[in-house]
Structure 1
Amino acid sequence: MKIVIDGKEIIADEGKFILDMAADSGIYIPHLCKHPDLEAVGGCRLCSVEVEGIEEPVPACKTMARDGMVIKVDSPKADKTRKMAMELILATHPADCTGCPKYGNCELQSLYQYMGVGPEGWRRKTRTVQTDESNPLIRHLFTRCIRCGRCIRACRELRGVKVLDYQRTKDGIQVGVDEGVSLREAGCRFCGACIEVCPTGSIMDAVGVLNEDISYREAIVPCKTACPAHIDIPRYIRYIKEGDFSKATAVIREKVPFPEILGSVCNHLCEDNCKRNELGKPISICKLKRAASVNDNAQWKNNALNSNRTGKKVGVIGAGPAGLTAAYYLNKKGHEVTVFEENEKAGGQCRYGIPSYRLSDELLDKEISTIIDEGVNLVTGRKINSPKELLEEGYDSVLITIGTHNGTKLPIDGNDLDGVYVNTDFLKRTRRGERIKLGKKLMVLGGGNVAYDCARTAIRLGVEEVHIACLETIDKMTAGKDEIQEGKEEGIILHSGHSFLRITGEEKVQGVELKKVDKFYFDENRRAVLELVEGTEEIVEVDNVIFAVGQRPYGTDKMNLELINNSYIKVDNSLKTNIEGVYAAGDVVTGTKSVVEAIVAGRKAAEEIDKYFGGDGDITEKLLEYEIPDPYIGQCPGFGDLERNSPSMISLDRRKSSFETIENAFEEELAMKEANRCLQCDLRLNLNNPKFWNEY
C-alpha cells in the first residue's frame, strides 16, 4: 500500500501502525510510550499526527495505516497537541537535568529539545517523593517517573515476571508492587529489563552495581567480564538450566580447552563479581562448569577449528596449562607442535602443584588426552635447557611455558634447619608418591591456596597437628573461603594476622616464633610494612615447617634470555623474547597466577606465533551456533531467596585419611536447580535501544 507522510510517498506492507511504518522508512515521529521491544499504549500523545479526513490529531502508535492515507507530522494541530502533552509531563518532572545520570542519554530530554519546549513553559508542581533504595540491585527515583508504563509492560509482557504495576499512593499514582512489599518479596527476578526500557532514569541500577571504569556492555554482565578468558557464562548456565549439558560445554570450550579442570580448581573471579552476591551467595559458576563437562557428549568436535597444514614447526617447553593450550590452538592453525616436558607426565602445576584430592590424575589424563588426540606431539622426561636447542633442531619457533616450580624461603633464622620444606618440592614429591618424613606437628607459613594445599596434604599424610600462620587477617587472606572452611573442618589451626620471626631449634626444627601483626600494608614503593604488637610473642612447637610464601621459575638463567628480577623472562606485548622466534608465556613471565590466566596466556601465545608465521592469528572457534534466548523468563516465587546449591563431598573421615577426590560433580538435577538461580543479566543486552530524533 501507499501512504504519504509530510509530502513523501511511502510504499509499505499492510497491518502496521503509522509510527512503525514511518520509523521503517526513516521518518521520525516523536514518541515515548513506544519502545522497540514493547507495544505502545497511546497514552502520552507525543506521537500525535494529523490525518487527512480526521478532524483531531491521532496517536501514530495506535492508528493503523491504510492505503492512500495522507499524514502530516509537522502540522500546527499535531504540534500543539504534542507540546501540550509534553508540558503536562514536564510539569512534575525535576527541572535540573545536569545532575541526572541519564543526562545526555535521556529520551525525555531529547524529545523536549526536539519539540522546542523549554523550562520556561513548565508549570512545575513540587512532587518530592523519596527515592526507594531498599531493594538490592535496583534503585527507584520516583520524581523522575513520567508514568509511561514501559517498565510495567517489560516486566509483565516481555519477561512474564509480573510484579510491577501502577499503585495508588498518598503521593499519587506510582509504579510499584502490590501490597507494598519489596521487589524481593514479590518475586522479582532482578533481570534489569525495567531499567533498560526506562526512558528517564527513574529506575536505575543501584549505586555501585555497575563498574563505571568499563564499557556498559561489560558492566552489565560482570561475571563474563571478570573471567580472564571471557567465557560466555550466562549462555552456558542457561543451557545447564535447560538440561543441555553438551551445548553448555561447547560454549565453555570456545574459550578454554580444559573445562573440567577449571570446574575443579578455578579461582572463580566470576563468582566474586556475580550480581547474585547482592541477594545472598553467587551462582556456583565454577562447579557448574564441571557439571557441564562431565555430562558432555563431545558434539562440539564436529565444529572444531581445523586448518590446512602449514609446514611450520613449533617447540613448546613445558606441558602446563599455558603450554598445552598454546599447543592445542597452534595445531588447529595447521602448525606441527611438539611439547617437551622434563617430568614423567604432562600437566605442570596442575599435576605437581595441586594435590590429587583436588585434581586427580585420571581427570588430568582425560583432558590432556583431548589435546594429544588432536595431533599434538608430547615428549616427556626430556629437559630442554635452552630454546636454542630446539631452534638448532629445525623448529621454526619456540614457546617457553615452564611455570614457577622453584619454591622460596623467607630469610629468617632457622630456615635451613632439618625438617624445613618448600611448597613446590613438598607437593611435587607427595604427588609422585614419595614418603616424606614428617613428625606429629607441622607449621605452614603463608596464607594462600598453596599454603592450604600443603597443610591439607600433611593431614592426609598422617600429621596429627597442622598449623597455618600468615600476615594477613582472615578477611584479607588470598586463600579461597571454601579452602579456609574445609581446612578448618579437617582440623587446621589458623594463626592469621601473625608474623613469623624465626624457626627455633639447633639442628632440627623445634618450633616457630610468632608475633601478632598490628598493621600490614605496602608503601608507595610496594614494599611490605609491618607493625607488630609488642609482648605478643609465642612459640608454637612443631617438628616441621613448610614455606608457602611464593615461587619462582628455575633454569631461566641458563637460557640466554633477557630476564626480569633474575628469573622471569622479559617479553614485549606480543610475548616475544630477545631471541628471534622465541616466545614466553604464563607464570614464567607474570609470576604465579591462576590456571585460567595460564590458559589465557597460552591462547595469546598461539595467536602471536601464528602471526609470526604469516597467519591471521585468529584462533576463534565457533563450536555452537548462537541461539537467541527466550526473553520470557516467567515467574519464580521466592527467587530472591533461593539458596546456593553445592555438590556433595565425601565424608570428613575419608577426606582426612586419603587423597581421594573430596568433591563430587553436581548431579544433573541439582546443577539445573543451581543454574536457575542465575539473574540472566545478559538478556538486557538483547533489548534494542530506542533511536533519538537525530539518529533518523
Structure 2
Amino acid sequence: MNQVKIEIDGMEVYTEKGKTIMEAAEHADIYIPHLCHHPDLHAEGGCRLCVVEINGKKEPQTACTTLAEEGMSVNTKSEDLDRMRRLSMELMLANHVDDCTTCPKYLKCELQSLIQYLGVSTSRLRRTLNAVNVETGNPLMIRDPNRCVACGRCVRVCRDVRGVGILEYHKNEEDRITVGVTGDLSLAKADCRFCGACVEVCPTGALQDKKGTFKEGNREDILIPCKQECPAGINIPKYVRFIKEGKYEEAAAVVREKAPFPKSLGLVCMRFCESACKRKDINGAVSIRELKRFAAEQDTYQWKEKSVFKTQTGKKVAVVGAGPAGLTAAYYLVKSGHAVDVYEKLPVAGGMLSAGIPDYRLPASIVEEEIAVIREAGVKILTNRKINSLEELRNLGYEAILIAVGTDKGVRIPLPGADLFNVHVNIDFLRRDLLNTQMELKDSVVVLGGGNVAFDCARTARRLGCSQVSVVCLEEEGAMTAGEEEITEAREEGIQIYNGRTFVRIIEKDGKAAGVLCREVESFTFDENRKLILTVKEDSDHVISGEMVIFSAGQRPDLESFVDLSLNPRGLMETDSSGNTGIKGVFAAGDAVTGTASVIQAIAGARKAASEIDRYLGGDGNIEESLSENQEADGFIGKAEGFADLDRRTYRCVSLDQRKDNFNLMTEGLEEAAARCEAGRCLQCDLRPGLTRSRFWTEYQYK
C-alpha cells in the first residue's frame, strides 16, 4: 500500500508512505510552525518549532523528521506546544537584532512572520546581542551574521542541492553556532558558484541580494535577468546550457523559438542581456551574443521538423516594410495560417540589416540566408514596390495591414550650409551603391553624431579610402550611444573622435563644404518637448576640417504615404502596446513606432503585433512554438575550481591590415572549445526559481 491515512487536528489526511508529518500537513494545506524546514531540503528538526503531539508518544516530536504512520493521530496545537515553540523562538531572538525595519526582508521575513504567529516577546530573556560586521565585499550578495539564526538552510542547500559545499557551521567564542564560509575565505576564493540558492532559502535577512542585482517584477522573471532584459524573451540560460553540453543544434533551436534572425543577432545584437548578466559583477558578463552566434553557425535547421504551421485561414495580410520587424511579423502570421505579402520600396529585403549595416559587420549573404527561410515558410516579398496609401492596400483585398517601415530617412540638422555640395545624411551615404547615388568621395570626412550609425558611416568612409575621418558629437565619451567596441575599433582604424561639441554651421569654400564650425559644450539637456538646451564654453569656436560632411544625428520614418495615421510629437506612429493604430485592421511595429532602436527590439515589437493581428483575424494569437528538446537542468552543479576567475571569451577582430580597406566580415567568432568554456561561466540563474518558495502561515487554509 503506497498511501497511509493519518489524522491531523481531527482532519483525515492521506499521504504517501515514507512522507513526514510535515509533508503530509503541507499537502493538506495545514500549517505547522517551522523555520529550519524547507520543502527542498532534508530535515534536521533543529529549530524545534514544528513540535507536535502524537497519540501514544510521551514526548512531543518534530513534524519535519517524524514519518507519518497508518492510523497516527497528530495534534499541532496545545498550551504545552505553544510554550515550547515560544521558548525556542525566544532563544533564537536572544542573538538577533531588534530593528527589523532596517532589514531588506522587512515584511517578507519568515522569522518576523513566526514572531507574529506565536506572539513572541523578547522582554523575558536577557539579550546577548553581539554586533558583528556586515560582509559587503563579496559580489552579488551581502552577509549579515547579526540576523542569522543558524537554521542551516543555506548550508544544506549549498551542500546537498547544489553540491558546492562551501558553507559550514562554526562555534564562536561564546559557544554560539554560526554559519560561515569554509576557511573564512571570500566567496570567490572558496569557489562559490554564485547561484543564489543560499539567499533564496534564507528565512531571515542574514543572506541578501545586493541592491540593484534584480529589478522589480515577477519572481520567475527577475531571478533570470538576462532573459528578463531580452526584449524578445529568448530563453538564454537554456541555450547557453545546451552549448555547454555540446548540443549546438538544440541551442540554435532555442533562439529560433523567438527570433527568425539568429545569425544576424549573433553579429549585431545590442546585448541588453549582457548588461543584465549577474556575472558582470564578478569578472565580466557571459558573452551571450557570441554564444548566440556560435549556436547559429552550427545550425543545420533540424528544428524545422518541429515547426508547426496552422491550417490556412484564407485571410490576407499586407506588411509594408521588409526590415526585421516586417519580416518577423510576416513569418509568424504565415505560420498562423494567413497569406502574407510584404511590400518593400528598396531593391532588396532586410531593411537596415541589408541596406544600412555595412557588410564588415553583417554580410548581406547572412541576411539573405535568413530571409530565404522566411520565404520558404510562405511569405511573399515584393521589392521595388512602394505603397502610396492605405487605400491602395484595401483595394487589393487585405483584411489586415501592418506598417513596419522603420526609420530609414536621415535627419539633416538645419544649420547654415547644410545644403552645400558634399553634405549628406547617414542613410543616403550607407545606401549609395544600392540606390546608385552619385557621391563624390573626399579625403577628409566629418561625421556629425555619436551613435552606431555614425560610426558605421565613419568606418565605411575609412574603408572607401578617405584618409582623414572625424566623428563629432554632443556627448562625452562615456555617454555616446554607440557600442563600446564600435568606438574602440574605430579608433584602431584611425578615426578621430571629438566629444562634447555642438555644431554651429558648415564651413563653405568655393561653394562646397570645407568643415564644421563647432563649440565646446559644458552641459546639455532636453526639455519636455525634446528641445535641446545647451550650455557652451565661451570663446571655444573652432573648425574641424572636412571636404565631406555626413549628418548622423538620428533617423525618422517616411510616413508620407500614410496620412490617415496619428503621429506623436516625435513624428512616430501612435499605437497601443500591441501595435493597434486605432484604425480598424491597421497595425504598426518597429522603429516607426519606437524610434530608432535595435534589431531585437524590432523583433519583439513585431511578435506582439503578429499575435494581435492573428487575434483580429479570428485566431488565438498564440505564436509560441517549441523547437528544442526539453531540458532537465541538473541543480547539482558541483564545485568548480577557480570558477570566479574564469576568463571571459569574446569575438576577435581580424588584424587592422586585413580589415581597413575592405568590407569583409571583420570579426571571428568563438571556436568550439572556447564556446563551451564561455558557456561554463554562466551562473545558471534559472536554477534559483526552481527552488520551492517558502509559504507564510497566512497562505495556508488551516492555521
Q: TM-score, normalised by structure 2?
A: 0.94
Aligned-residue offset at 1:579: 4.4
Aligned-residue offset at 1:578: 5.6
C-alpha distance in structure 1 between counterparts of 2:575 and 2:19, whole Å: 60
| Aligned residue type for 2:236 | I
C-alpha distance in structure 1 between counterparts of 2:317 and 2:330, whole Å: 8
Identify the residue that residue 292 of structure 2 maps to in structure 1.
289
Aligned-residue offset at 1:453: 0.2
- Partner deviation per Cα, 1:506-527 (whole Å, 9 max, x = no partner): 3112222222211122235432
Tell whether the 8 Å contact from 1:356 to 1:431 is kept in structure 2 after alignment.
Answer: no
C-alpha distance in structure 1 between counterparts of 2:22 and 2:648, whole Å: 46
C-alpha distance in structure 1 between counterparts of 2:252 and 2:353, whole Å: 21
C-alpha distance in structure 2 between counterparts of 1:603 and 1:215, whole Å: 21
C-alpha distance in structure 1 between counterparts of 2:53 and 2:119, whole Å: 19
Q: Does 1:576 align with 2:580?
A: yes
| Aligned residue type for 1:311 | G
Aligned-residue offset at 1:26: 3.2
Aligned-residue offset at 1:21: 2.8
Select which of 526, 530, 536 maps to 1:526: 530
Identify the residue that residue 633 of structure 1 maps to in structure 2.
637
Identify the residue that residue 618 of structure 1 maps to in structure 2.
622
Aligned-residue offset at 1:388: 1.4
Give 1:39-54 correspondences, 5 Å limit. Answer: 39-54=42-57
Which runs of 5 or more residues in structure 1 are unaligned?
Answer: none
C-alpha distance in structure 2 between counterparts of 1:513 and 1:537, whole Å: 7
Distance 1:229 1:421, change over 3 A: same
Tell whether the 8 Å contact from 2:227 to 2:234 is kept in structure 1 after alignment.
Answer: yes
3-state DSSP of counterpart to 2:117 = helix
Identify the residue that residue 322 of structure 1 maps to in structure 2.
325
C-alpha distance in structure 2 between counterparts of 1:574 and 1:168, whole Å: 58
Select which of 188, 195, 200 maps to 2:204: 200
Give 1:457-468 correspondences, 5 Å limit. Answer: 457-468=460-471
Select which of 168, 172, 179 maps to 1:175: 179
Q: Does 1:396 align with 2:399?
A: yes
Aligned-residue offset at 1:267: 1.0
Tell whether the 8 Å contact from 1:355 to 1:431 is kept in structure 2 after alignment.
Answer: no
| Aligned residue type for 1:91 | A
Aligned-residue offset at 1:556: 2.1
Matched-pair identity in %: 49
Which has the larger displacement, 356-365 or 578-587? 578-587
| Aligned residue type for 1:686 | G
Select which of 372, 375, 380 maps to 2:375: 372
- Partner deviation per Cα, 1:130-184 (whole Å, 9 max, x = no partner): 2111111101111110001110111111111121112344574432212222111
Distance 1:49 1:133, change over 3 A: same
Which has the larger displacement, 639-648 or 90-99? 90-99
Tell whether the 8 Å contact from 1:350 to 1:359 is kept in structure 2 after alignment.
Answer: yes
C-alpha distance in structure 1 between counterparts of 2:662 and 2:551, whole Å: 23
Identify the residue that residue 269 of structure 2 maps to in structure 1.
266
C-alpha distance in structure 1 between counterparts of 2:414 and 2:438, whole Å: 27
| Aligned residue type for 1:256 | A
Tell whether the 8 Å contact from 2:422 to 2:439 is kept in structure 1 after alignment.
Answer: no
Aligned-residue offset at 1:266: 1.1
| Aligned residue type for 2:662 | S
TM-align CA RMSD: 2.1
Distance 1:83 1:621, change over 3 A: same
Identify the residue that residue 590 of structure 1 maps to in structure 2.
594
- Partner deviation per Cα, 1:426-477 (whole Å, 9 max, x = no partner): 0011456877421211111100000000001011101111110100000000
Identify the residue that residue 384 of structure 2 maps to in structure 1.
381
- Partner deviation per Cα, 1:365-396 (whole Å, 9 max, x = no partner): 11011110011111112222122112112222
Aligned-residue offset at 1:9: 4.2
Aligned-residue offset at 1:630: 1.1
- Partner deviation per Cα, 1:248-271 (whole Å, 9 max, x = no partner): 222222211111111111111111
3-state DSSP of counterpart to 1:41 = coil
Aligned-residue offset at 1:41: 1.3
| Aligned residue type for 2:604 | V
Aligned-residue offset at 1:499: 1.6
| Aligned residue type for 1:106 | C
| Aligned residue type for 1:585 | A
Aligned-residue offset at 1:358: 0.9
C-alpha distance in structure 1 between counterparts of 2:396 and 2:528, whole Å: 48
Aligned-residue offset at 1:76: 4.3
| Aligned residue type for 1:386 | S
Identify the residue that residue 412 of structure 1 maps to in structure 2.
415
Give 1:493-508 correspondences, 5 Å limit. Answer: 493-506=496-509, 507-508=511-512
Identify the residue that residue 647 of structure 1 maps to in structure 2.
651
Give 1:445-484 correspondences, 5 Å limit. Answer: 445-484=448-487
Tell whether the 8 Å contact from 1:406 to 1:553 is kept in structure 2 after alignment.
Answer: yes
Distance 1:571 1:22, change over 3 A: closer
Identify the residue that residue 101 of structure 1 maps to in structure 2.
104
Aligned-residue offset at 1:629: 1.3
- Partner deviation per Cα, 1:257-309 (whole Å, 9 max, x = no partner): 11111111111111112212211321111121111111123232222231111
Identify the residue that residue 258 of structure 2 maps to in structure 1.
255
Identify the residue that residue 671 of structure 1 maps to in structure 2.
675
Distance 1:637 1:410, change over 3 A: same
Tell whether the 8 Å contact from 1:343 to 1:381 is kept in structure 2 after alignment.
Answer: yes
Identify the residue that residue 440 of structure 1 maps to in structure 2.
443
Tell whether the 8 Å contact from 1:430 to 1:436 is kept in structure 2 after alignment.
Answer: no
| Aligned residue type for 2:185 | V
Tell whether the 8 Å contact from 1:50 to 1:77 is kept in structure 2 after alignment.
Answer: no
Distance 1:290 1:310, change over 3 A: same
Select which of 26, 29, 35 maps to 1:26: 29
Which runs of 5 or more residues in structure 2 are unaligned?
Answer: none
- Partner deviation per Cα, 1:303-359 (whole Å, 9 max, x = no partner): 223111111111111111111011101111111111111222100111111101111
Identify the residue that residue 156 of structure 1 maps to in structure 2.
159
Q: Does 1:141 align with 2:144?
A: yes
Distance 1:41 1:325, change over 3 A: same
C-alpha distance in structure 1 between counterparts of 2:125 and 2:560, whole Å: 74
C-alpha distance in structure 2 between counterparts of 1:408 and 1:26, whole Å: 63
3-state DSSP of counterpart to 2:516 = strand
Identify the residue that residue 611 of structure 2 maps to in structure 1.
607
Identify the residue that residue 310 of structure 2 maps to in structure 1.
307
Aligned-residue offset at 1:585: 1.9
Aligned-residue offset at 1:625: 4.9
Distance 1:104 1:576, change over 3 A: closer
Select which of 238, 242, 263 maps to 2:241: 238
| Aligned residue type for 1:549 | A
Which has the larger displacement, 363-372 or 214-223? 214-223
| Aligned residue type for 1:12 | T
Tell whether the 8 Å contact from 1:316 to 1:327 is kept in structure 2 after alignment.
Answer: yes
Identify the residue that residue 19 of structure 2 maps to in structure 1.
16
| Aligned residue type for 1:619 | I
C-alpha distance in structure 2 between counterparts of 1:410 and 1:170, whole Å: 72
C-alpha distance in structure 2 between counterparts of 1:595 and 1:29, whole Å: 52
3-state DSSP of counterpart to 1:49 = strand
Distance 1:570 1:23, change over 3 A: closer
Distance 1:74 1:575, change over 3 A: closer
C-alpha distance in structure 2 between counterparts of 1:605 and 1:6, whole Å: 54
Identify the residue that residue 421 of structure 1 maps to in structure 2.
424
**How many pairs does the alignment contain?**
695
C-alpha distance in structure 2 between counterparts of 1:19 and 1:573, whole Å: 46
| Aligned residue type for 1:494 | I
C-alpha distance in structure 1 between counterparts of 2:208 and 2:430, whole Å: 50
C-alpha distance in structure 1 between counterparts of 2:584 and 2:14, whole Å: 63
Which has the larger displacement, 67-76 or 675-684? 67-76
Aligned-residue offset at 1:33: 1.2
